[in-house]
Chains A and B, each alone.
Chain A
Amino acid sequence: MRRAILLSIVLLAAAAGASQSFWANGPSWPSGTVPIQIELGSAPALSDGCADWSCSASGAIDRWNLFMSRVQLRAVANSLHARGELNGRNDMFFADDMYGKAFGHDTLALTTWWYRGDALVEADTGFNRAKRWDSYRGNAKPGLVYDLRRVALHELGHVLGLGHPEDHGQDVTAMMNGTMGDLDTLTADDITGIQSLYGVPGGDLDESSGGSSGSAIDFPPRNETYDFRNWLETTYARTLGRSAGLSYSDVEGSVVWVQEYLRYRLNACTHEQAVARVRSQIAGGGVAAAVCGTPASASVIAFPPRDQTYGFRLQLEDFYRVDLGRAAVKTSVDAEGDVVWIQEYLRYRLNGCTHAQSIARITEQIEGKGVPPVCR
């Protein structure tokens, strides 16, 4: 009878889990920044253009940061710290073993959570040095060479407090499932899960930034801008036939910070004020600063001149290269195309167009059919 009850509970839990999808494991991080010490060392030339492992892991960190509000991960690139348990740091490293125990034949990487009472105090991630690693997009190459970036995406989800949906009877498409596969990016389920723990970006800016932070202009969710930017990448590469160049600001960084720059500009900040706020925000691990005032009411929201946004984008490039020490990554969209079309996308979105309508209008512009009007 006890077995029957247990089985019923398990099946009920599985059924409930299927509708709930993601799995949050337990206590999560308090609001603020969570530094990740990237101790992965040097790398050979990587397939996605990254010059070292820090670049690949930082890309995964940036991806998660796109979708969170009250917590941001902060990459400490090429950290020289030595790994250790219960040392108060979140270490990410290659190793032959995980704290004296072998990874085993089938394990690519592991994250250990440390809790003290009800508080998550540390999370360390080890990658199995016995496997061959690279950094690439597309289908996985199991048994040959493993993609550090997607495994880092998965392990960082653990660092943030997400578990494996499949361990709890759920049948969803998610980076957070524990078994190796072809997914190379976060899915809607992963994003819903992380936002259940840390909120939606922009959803609580008014509370966090204080002062005259009240932003009267609402921006679209970053993941939609990010989708647009991915569409732009495909269009440049396949439709326009542009070859890949190098950029120090990766796609995630460009989407997040160009959008943040424009949010400040549209909320009464000058170019200089907006640049200073974004730099401070990047250095501070993503915590938003106060905007500069309330925008004048207008039927159509006016954007700053493109040359100013482009100027910001060039400074962003320098900031990523010099201050953050990031390696260059490949992209088919040059810096000018990057800001021109992100700004156009946001101009349409903020003036009544949906995601699809905005992409359709930009397609017309790219095809040389003039500049379609906004949607109101």
Chain B
Amino acid sequence: MKSRTGAALALTAVMAVAAMAEAPRAASVIAPTFDAMVARSRTVFVGRTVDVRSRWVSTSSGPAIVTVVTLSVVRTLKGDLGAQTQLEFLGGTVGEYRMEIPGMPKFRVGDEDVLFVDERGQPVSPVVGFMHGRFRVLEDADTRRRSVARYNFEPLADVKDIGAAAPAPRVSSARALSLAAFEDEIVRAVRRQRQAQ
């Protein structure tokens, strides 16, 4: 009996350690892989935010606030876009009211991003993967090298890390994928998926 109890305690301890070593992930949004992100996007582009406005809308469930982000399109990597495009997100601030959705991408004038977008069905967030399809463009002040980071400013080393089952080790922005290399990966994936159709 004692050895069985000891085994149970040991198992409990192992489970506790395993839980602590587990990937720091929990709930509510599924992170798509790079290929899925490309496939599900109607457009992929490099854009610079030029305007952000929030307004009340009436819905069948009551009043809501939406925020319309206007972006200047720097380069289109998938789909067709003009010089500017607009994206509408649920939530925002109007007067003394603020409607906020945890994790919803927030844009400020001057932000530069690579965006994977699917606005079909008027989703709460037109960014594919809710927030995962937003990649920040960062520029090193000394070298002027332009690199890519995830939506939360975590530098991205490889497109294979996007939506990977286990979180990738963190890297410095110096080791992050360059903007040019990231764009090349996207264009290649678009071509590959088009040929496979």
A residues near B, CB below 8 A?
1, 3-4, 7, 10-11, 14, 25-26, 83-87, 98-117, 142, 150-151, 153-155, 158, 163-169, 171-183, 187, 231, 234-235, 238-239, 363, 366-368
Provide the B1-33 mask, 1 if CB < 8 A to any CB of A, else 0. Answer: 110110111011000000110111111111110
Q: Which residues of A contact B63 (CB under 8 A)?
A: 85-86
Within the complex, which residue of B26, B59, B100 is in contact with A150, where a contact is CB–CB below 8 Å? B26
> B158 at the A/B interface (Cβ < 8 Å)?
no
B102 interfacial contact with A, CB 8 Å: yes
Whether A112 touches B130, Cβ cut-off 8 Å, given contacts A164-B102, A239-B5, is no
A-B contact pairs, 27 of them (CB 8 A): A3-B139, A4-B142, A11-B153, A85-B64, A86-B62, A100-B60, A102-B122, A104-B125, A105-B32, A105-B40, A106-B30, A108-B29, A110-B124, A111-B102, A113-B101, A114-B97, A158-B102, A166-B152, A167-B102, A173-B22, A173-B24, A179-B26, A179-B30, A182-B25, A183-B22, A238-B11, A367-B5
B61 CB-CB contact with A under 8 Å: yes
Q: Please give, as numbers and ranges, the residues of chain B lying within 8 Å of A158 by CB-CB distance.
A: 102
Residues of B with C-beta under 8 A to A363: 5, 9
B148 CB–A CB distance under 8 Å: no
Give Cα A21–Cα B146 distance, bound, in whole angstroms.
Answer: 29
A89 smallest CB distance to B (angstroms): 11
B184 to chain A, nearest CB (A): 23
B47 on the A face (CB < 8 A): no
B57 adjacent to A100 (CB under 8 Å): yes
Q: Give every chain B residue within 8 A of A178 (Cβ-Cβ).
A: 26-29, 102-103, 131
Flag if B4 contacts A108 (CB, 8 Å).
no
**Chain A contacts for B142, CB-based, 8 A:** 4
A169-B153 contact, Cβ under 8 Å, with A106-B132, A116-B96, A178-B131: yes
| B154: Cβ under 8 A from any A Cβ | yes
CB-CB under 8 A from A111, the residues of chain B are 101-102
B128 within 8 A of A: yes
- The residue in chain A whose Cβ has the minimal distance to the Cβ of B91 is A112
Name the A residues within 8 Å of B59 (CB-CB): 85, 99-100
Q: How distant is the Cα of A180 from the Cα of B170 in the complex, in angstroms?
A: 19
**A-side contacts of B7, CB under 8 Å:** 239
B residues engaging A (CB < 8 A)? Answer: 1-2, 4-5, 7-9, 11-12, 19-20, 22-32, 40, 57, 59-64, 90-91, 96-103, 118, 121-125, 128-132, 138-142, 151-154, 170, 173
Rounded to whole Å, the gap between the CB of A154 and the closest CB of chain B is 4
Closest to B110 in A: A2
Q: Please count the residue pairs between chain A and chain B whose beta carbons lie under 8 angstroms apart in the complex.
A: 216
Which residues of chain B come closer than 8 Å to A142, judged between CB atoms?
30
Cβ of B152 and Cβ of A167 under 8 Å apart? yes
Given contacts A98-B90, A180-B30, contact A169 B152 (CB under 8 A): yes
For A117, list chain B residues within 8 Å (CB).
96
**Bound complex: CA of A234 vs CA of B11, how far in Å?**
10
Q: A100-B61, A178-B26, A180-B25 are in contact. List 8 more A-B contacts (CB 8 A).
A: A7-B140, A106-B132, A107-B125, A109-B28, A166-B152, A171-B24, A182-B23, A239-B5
Which among B5, B28, B100 is the interface contact of A151 at CB below 8 angstroms? B28
Bound Cα distance from A171 to B99, whole angstroms: 27
The answer on a CB contact under 8 Å between B20 and A173 is yes
Closest B residue to A172 using CB positions: B24
Give min CB distance, B103 to chain A, whole Å: 5
Q: A86-B62, A101-B122 are in contact. Are A113 and B102 (CB under 8 A)?
A: yes
Whether B26 pairs with A155 at a CB distance below 8 angstroms is no
Complex-state Cα separation, A142 to B163, whole angstroms = 12
In whole angstroms, how far apart are the Cα atoms of A234 and B12 in the complex? 8
Q: Which residues of A are found within 8 Å of B27, using beta-carbon distances?
A: 108-109, 150-151, 153-155, 175, 177-181, 183
A1-B141 contact given A83-B61, A107-B124, A151-B27, CB 8 Å threshold: yes
Quick one: closest A residue to B132, CB to CB?
A106
Identity of the chain A residue whose Cβ is nearest the Cβ of B15 in the assembled complex: A234
Residues of B within 8 A of A239 (CB): 1, 4-5, 7-8
Taken together as a complex, chains A and B put the C-alpha atoms of A11 and B139 apart, in Å, by 13
- Contact B26 A106, beta carbon cutoff 8 Å: no
Chain B residues, Cβ within 8 Å of A114? 97-99
* CB-defined contacts of B29 to chain A, threshold 8 Å: 106-108, 178-180
Q: Do A100 and B8 touch across chains, with their CB atoms under 8 A apart?
A: no
Complex contacts, A150 vs chain B, CB 8 Å? 26-27
Known contacts A84-B62, A180-B31; A101 and B90 CB within 8 A of each other: yes
